[in-house]
């Protein structure tokens, strides 16, 4: 099964496979995802429909269009609102005391961010940037708190969304602590293509560079290029239809010990 994923720049030269461990090729092993294999990938947060309850409570809500790369808020800004991605994608980053930046999340449409303000966070602990042209809904902190009190059904959905996000973050932490960068890249690509989720695999239409992939898994661009070349040689991915095709047998890399 193949899914069309975003175009990735692949200009780095091929690197010999060297001492990398052997993996079976997709041509020899036509694997399909089964429940125990899918468990290797955490469930995505369920989509949360904000429109109906928010349309009933307009006070404290505003909508703004952002261009790719435009800042939504910066680390250290006052944390006085929650944000909802109506359309587009958002990147969250943190910067350490010595100036090192790390990407902590890429969020798609129907995602919340900045919700730590509801827990009393006075200042933003991260920065948010639009990855592409995006429509962002800003909800004042007090308006969001009022909405959660007035709409118990929405409050339950919102809590479920946050718990699912927390589970995803724990899985990401385990992935970074115990898995190789090759496994982390394979897992990320599978999740971006929506493999192992309740819904069917879907195309990821937004472009994402090798630099962004490297930031997300904590490695270098050259290593990402090397692993992508390796996955292509093994038949797990292929460049086609203006993007990248992801074969479900890429799960071999995630499960390989």
Q: CA-CA distance, 24 to 38, in Å (whole number)?
A: 18
Q: Is residue 155 part of a domain?
A: no
Report the CATH number that the domain containing residue 104 is assigned in CATH.
2.60.120.10
| Residue 158 within a domain | no
Place of tokens 């994402």: 208
**What is residue 53's predicted lDDT score, i.e. its pLDDT?**
66
Mean pLDDT for all residues in the chain: 77
DSSP string, 128-167: EEESSSEEEEEEEHHHHHHHHHH-HHHHHHHHHHHHHHHH
**Tens of pLDDT, residues 55-75:** 666 678 899 999 999 999 999
CATH number at residue 225: 1.10.10.10
Domain boundary, last residue among 87, 116, 150:
150
The verdict on residue 75 lying in a domain is yes
Ramachandran sector of residue 242 (left: φ over 0; alpha: ψ -120 to 50; beta: rest) = left
The verdict on 57 and 146 lying in the same domain is yes
Residue 141 lies in a domain: yes
| Structural domain range at position 146 | 51-150
Flag whether 164 is in a domain. no
Assess whether 63 and 142 both reside in one domain: yes
Residues 30 and 57 in one domain: no
85: helix, strand or coil: strand
pLDDT tens digits for 118-137? Answer: 999 999 999 999 988 999 99
**At which of 119, 150, 181 does a domain end?**
150
Same domain as 191, residue 229? yes
Could you tell me if 68 and 135 lie in one domain? yes
82, 166, 202 from 160: Cα distances, Å: 16, 10, 23
Residue 46 lies in a domain: no
Assigned domain for 163 exists? no
pLDDT at 136: 96
pLDDT tens-digit profile of 172-208?
778 777 888 999 888 888 877 766 555 555 544 345 7
In a domain, 90, yes or no: yes
Per-residue tokens: 82: 């929650």
Domain boundary among 121, 150, 179: 150
CA 208-181-125 angle, to 5 degrees, is 65
**From start to end of the chain, where are the E strands?**
2-5, 61-66, 71-73, 81-87, 90-95, 101-107, 112-113, 127-130, 134-140, 237-240, 243-247
Q: How many domains does the chain have?
A: 2
Instruction: Examine the domain organization and report whether 28 and 56 are in the same domain.
Output: no
Q: From the CB of residue 131, how many other CB atoms can be counted at a distance below 10 Å? A: 19
């Amino acid at each position: 099964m193949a899914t069309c994923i975003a175009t990735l720049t692949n200009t780095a030269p091929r690197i010999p496979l060297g001492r990398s461990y052997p993996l079976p090729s997709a041509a020899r092993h036509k694997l399909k995802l089964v429940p125990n294999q899918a468990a290797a990938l955490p469930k995505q947060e369920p989509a949360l429909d904000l429109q109906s309850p928010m349309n009933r409570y307009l006070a404290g809500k505003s909508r703004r269009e952002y261009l790719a790369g435009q800042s939504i808020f910066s680390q250290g800004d006052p944390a006085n609102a929650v944000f909802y991605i109506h359309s587009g994608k958002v990147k969250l980053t943190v910067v350490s005391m010595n100036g090192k930046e790390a990407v902590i999340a890429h969020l798609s449409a129907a995602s919340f961010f900045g919700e730590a303000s509801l827990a009393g966070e006075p200042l933003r602990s991260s920065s948010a940037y639009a990855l592409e042209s995006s429509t962002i809904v800003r909800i004042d902190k007090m308006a969001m708190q009022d909405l959660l009190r007035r709409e118990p059904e929405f409050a339950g959905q919102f809590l479920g969304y946050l718990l699912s996000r927390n589970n995803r973050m724990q899985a990401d932490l385990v992935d970074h602590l115990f898995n190789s960068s090759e496994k982390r890249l394979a897992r990320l690509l599978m999740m971006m293509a929506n493999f192992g989720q309740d819904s069917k695999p879907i195309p990821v239409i937004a472009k994402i560079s090798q630099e962004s992939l490297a930031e997300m898994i904590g490695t270098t661009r050259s290593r990402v290029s090397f692993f992508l070349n390796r996955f292509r040689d093994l038949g797990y991915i292929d460049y086609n239809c203006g993007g990248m095709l992801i074969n479900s047998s890429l799960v071999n890399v995630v499960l390989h010990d």
